[in-house]
Amino acid sequence: MECERREASAEREEQKSGIGGNDAELIARWPGLLYDNTRDYLMWAVWGALRNLPSNPKKLEQPALLALATEITDGWHPNLRALIRASDPATAFAIDIRTSLPVAPWATSNVTVLGDAVHLMTPGRGVGANTALRDAASLASRVRDAARGTMSLHEAVAGYEAEMRRYGFQAVAESRRQFDERDPIHRPVVGRVALGAMRTGLRVVNNVPLLKRRMIAAEHRFRGIDQTPQGH
């Protein structure tokens, strides 16, 4: 479930100019969503395995969605619960979290793909945007090499696609694993133990500099971040 809350004021009733022209069409296609990226807004989301929810969000009206979000966040910080209660029911909606599947290599042509066009993933690892930027950097680097004459443009694109399929679908798999309803963390009793162990582990890492540096380095490698010092 997701919801947005906009600050209401007379001067914000008109869309800001020069920021984007897709908003009127977007709102027209999705009545009730009211998503407008030309105005200030705050968005929250609550998610969970469908089989663990007291009711199916896809079958609920908008006020009932907010009621469900309030119910399943019982025990959360009161400020977060206040945010949910203060939300406009007309902006609440339910979505299914979906992900892409690995695809077989294809014949390289003068058209290629990057980002969500090929390796759409869940937000489980928070690497969707990073992976798309990695695509862009990899493709740009290879096209630059082609412009310098070290390889043909066809070879540049083919090399990019082969590399992108490797790290892109690895990111898809890792992100999917975080949202797998079969994971122990989604089980009523075992899940609380798993969550407690994870929190304890993160606290330990946060207080041990060596472990923290190793964890950060591992996340950088997963995201394809170049850690080579400038000038080397």
Residues 14 and 68 in one domain: yes
Element (H, E) at 207: helix 190-207
Residues 173 and 214 in one domain: no
How far is it, in rounded angstroms, from Cα 133 to Cα 163? 14
Determine the 3-state secondary structure of 81 from DSSP: helix
- Per-residue confidence (pLDDT) for residue 102, from 0 to 100: 93
Given a contact cutoff of 8 angstroms between Cβ atoms, the answer to whether 35 and 4 are in contact is yes
Amino acid at 135: D
**Residue 109 placed within a domain:** no
Q: What are phi and psi of 30, to 5 degrees?
A: -120, 75
Amino acid at 54: P
**Residue 99 placed within a domain:** no
Please work out, in degrees rounded to the nearest 5, the angle formed at the alpha carbon of residue 118 by the alpha carbons of 112 and 124: 145
Residues 204 and 160 in one domain: no
Measured between alpha carbons, how far apart are the two ends of the chain, in Å? 47
How far is it, in rounded angstroms, from Cα 60 to Cα 41? 24
pLDDT tens across 66-96, in order? 999 999 999 899 999 999 999 988 888 888 8
Write out the two tokens for 164: 């992108």
**Residue 130 placed within a domain:** yes
- Per-residue confidence (pLDDT) for residue 26, from 0 to 100: 58
The DSSP result for 140-181, as a single string, is: HHHHHHHHTTSS-HHHHHHHHHHHHHHHHHHHHHHHHHHT-T
Residues 130 and 163 in one domain: yes
- Per-residue confidence (pLDDT) for residue 195, from 0 to 100: 80
Write out the two tokens for 92: 């609440």
Write out the two tokens for 153: 């443009």
- Per-residue confidence (pLDDT) for residue 32, from 0 to 100: 54
- Tell me which residues of the chain have a pLDDT lower than 70: 1-38, 225-232
Domain count of the fold of the chain: 3
Domain that residue 207 falls in: 184-223
Residues 35 and 77 in one domain: yes
Full-model pTM: 0.68
How far is it, in rounded angstroms, from Cα 36 to Cα 131? 26
**Residue 102 placed within a domain:** no
Given a contact cutoff of 8 angstroms between Cβ atoms, the answer to whether 106 and 162 are in contact is no
Largest CA distance in the chain: 62
Residues 41 and 20 in one domain: yes
